[in-house]
């Protein structure tokens, strides 16, 4: 109700807010990835660092303890990488002016769903499709 009289203005303002959130999340994800992985320029993907490399790269004992084994780092890496892919896709949609459109049904994604997850690719109805 509150936004109904200024729907279009509010939508434009929201996109700026979502863009800022997405860019902030992207920085955080890349920072977390750089703790446990290195970016492969050829594949465009992050690769988990082998143990021997990690020891040399991380001075901080806390960081080393958090990611004790390679398998754990690989699992965290794939979660972060998947999230980063979604965030990048959402940022690209803002540029392409298709942000907030469900990838499956083409309808608008609910505002509260985007609030909860600015990188959402689908509306609530299609979120598990
Ligand atoms: Zn949908």
Q: What tens digit of pLDDT does each residue of 47-100 get?
A: 988 776 655 555 556 555 555 688 888 999 999 999 999 999 999 999 999 999
* Burial class of 44 by CB neighbour count within 10 A (0 to 12, 13 to 18, 19+): exposed
* 43 CA distance to ligand 1 middle (Å): 31
106 dihedral zone (left: phi>0; alpha: psi -120 to 50; beta): left
The pLDDT, as a whole number, for residue 5 is 47
Total-model pTM:
0.76
The helix/strand/coil state of 108 is strand
* 41 CA distance to ligand 1 middle (Å): 34
Q: Using an 8 Å Cβ cutoff, are 126 and 105 in contact?
A: yes
pLDDT at 33 over 70: yes
**pLDDT band at 24, cuts 50/70/90?**
very high
Tell me the angle at which helices 70-96 and 7-36 cross, rounded to the nearest 10 degrees.
150
pLDDT at 44 over 60: yes
């Amino acid at each position: 109700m509150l936004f109904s009289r200024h729907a279009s203005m509010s939508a434009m303002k929201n996109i700026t807010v979502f863009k800022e959130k997405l860019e902030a999340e992207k920085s955080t994800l890349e920072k977390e990835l750089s703790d446990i992985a290195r970016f492969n320029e050829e594949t465009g993907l992050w690769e988990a660092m082998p143990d021997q490399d990690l020891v040399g790269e991380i001075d901080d004992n806390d960081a080393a303890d958090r990611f004790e084994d390679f398998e754990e780092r690989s699992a965290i890496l794939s979660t972060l990488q998947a999230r980063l892919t979604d965030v990048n896709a959402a940022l690209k949609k803002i540029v392409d002016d298709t942000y907030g459109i469900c990838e499956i049904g083409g309808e608008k994604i609910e505002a509260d769903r985007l609030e909860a997850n600015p990188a959402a690719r689908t509306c609530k109805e299609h979120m598990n499709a």
